[in-house]
Amino acid sequence: MIVRDLKRLALVVGPLLVLLLLSASLWHSHSGDIASHVGSLLGQSGKTETSSTRRTPTLTADGKHYEIYSLSTPDGKYFDIRFGIEVFNPNIIPHQKFNNTWYIVGQVFIDPNDDHTDKTVHEAGCVAQFINGVLMCIDYVQHLPIEPTPGGKCTGDFAYINFNVGPHDARVFMGPQSPFIIYGSNSAFTCFGQFIQDFRKLVNWEYELMTPDDFAVGTEIERPPPYAQLEKNYFAFWDNKGDMLVHYDLYPKRGFGKLERNGTVGPDLAPRVKEHDEKCLKRYMPELPGDLESIHQATNSMKVTMCNRADKSCEPHDGNTYIMTIAQHKTYYNWHSEYEPYVVLFQQRAPYELYAISKKPLWIHGRQRHEGRRTDMMYVTSANWKDHGVNYHGFLDDVVFLGFGYEDKHSAGIDVLAADLLHDIGRCDDP
């Protein structure tokens, strides 16, 4: 009788606890003791749920891409990300406390044709969960309190950027211990630069102590000269010794150096591997016929060991562990941009030479082709491990969240095994 009554009680209490969790304001919560136990009370594990059947990457009909499929959606297509307002170029990282819960951050869409809207640029975010197959906010979406920078160094065709207010094109990502954000803003050294800040300072990340070396305020990254007028899409990476470096250029030649906590960057280390890397880039990246096409780095970095976490014999070392990021081939024809993502791997130990690049770009299942040349514009901005606790370093059987902007207005994502992203990748030293 007692067991039967407990089962009945669970049927009532269980849903009430779930509703309590969904209604809580987790973004700045300090009283989530009950919510923190909901997962265990309802039998949730630390790993996120995925569909029972996995579709491995397949070659598209034209033979030009490898199509990747979502693990969690029934049809394998990408899922929508909904903030409650129009936000694009999304980022997704696991919540620091709750399983199956994430922070999502993106740039608020500004309608250039609406004269009545505020033209200040904002990065907005919230705590999110999957509801009916959509990753959506479960608390209020809020503007990140990123301080604007004065700048004033833009000239000529870029002079209008002097009037910019607010951060652009943020990348939110996990480091080995804590999360960071890199964003664009008016520069003290050139027209438009890149800044880094500890993400915990912007969302009240709970139960972790800060140190003086955690980029508590937005800090401009001072790359070695020459600067471009517009510096974009830097990413940080951590080597096998735990040192933090920044990668500011990939193509036509790489540029990277050690990042100090005051924002300065040491000497450019890329010349040491210039000959090797340029051969690899030329081999696997498409040729660019003119000014309407370009190749550039796009996402943050992650560290991946090329064996399965579930394999007891899998031990990370310099011979099987690499830094992974995504670069994109951009085309701009008929006034419409399109992006083709390539996975890039490079060594985690000095001199950090390129190791491998996708032989063919990825095609996200659900992307549509239209009449003529045009396809849906999907710009991948975020690549992070999906599950809580993985942080920066994962394995082939860990799941990756890719976040991408859709037509510069909407947000979406897809979850795939790291092994699927690395399907048929071409090593630089292959014959």
Of 138, 50, 58, 56, the closest CA to residue 98 belongs to: 138
Look up residue 95 and give its two tokens.
Answer: 């919540």
Query: Would you call 120 helix, strand, or coil by DSSP?
Result: coil
**Bond into 94 cis (ω within 30):** no
Cα–Cα distance, 298 to 285 (Å, whole number) = 15
Look up residue 215 and give its two tokens.
Answer: 């980029």
Residues 244 and 238 sit within 8 Å (Cβ to Cβ): yes
Q: Angle at the Cα of 404 (from 245 to 230), degrees rounded to 5?
A: 50
Residues 304 and 322 sit within 8 Å (Cβ to Cβ): yes
Q: Return the DSSP state at 259.
A: B
Question: Residue 38: its pLDDT value, please?
Answer: 31
Please, which residues have CB within 8 angstroms of residue 9's CB and are 6 or more apart in sequence? none
Per residue in 131-154, pLDDT (tens digit) is 999 999 999 999 999 999 998 999
Query: Would you call 380 helix, strand, or coil by DSSP?
Result: strand
Give the mean pLDDT of the chain: 87
Sheet holding 255-258, edge to edge: 235-238, 244-249, 255-258
Question: Residue 26: its pLDDT value, please?
Answer: 46
Per residue in 247-274, pLDDT (tens digit) is 999 999 999 999 999 999 999 999 999 9
Look up residue 154 and give its two tokens.
Answer: 């833009």
Cα–Cα distance, 314 to 100 (Å, whole number) = 26
Sign of CA dihedral 183, 186, 189, 191: positive
- Rounded to an integer, the average pLDDT of 296-315 is 97
Cα–Cα distance, 13 to 404 (Å, whole number) = 37
Query: Would you call 382 helix, strand, or coil by DSSP?
Result: strand
Look up residue 74 and give its two tokens.
Answer: 């029934």
Per residue in 421-431, pLDDT (tens digit) is 999 999 999 98
Question: Residue 54: its pLDDT value, please?
Answer: 82
- Rounded to an integer, the average pLDDT of 336-363 is 97
Per residue in 360-412, pLDDT (tens digit) is 999 999 999 887 768 999 999 999 999 999 999 999 999 999 999 988 778 99
Q: Is the pLDDT of residue 15 over 90?
A: no
pTM of the model: 0.87
Cα–Cα distance, 81 to 83 (Å, whole number) = 7
Question: Residue 31: its pLDDT value, please?
Answer: 33
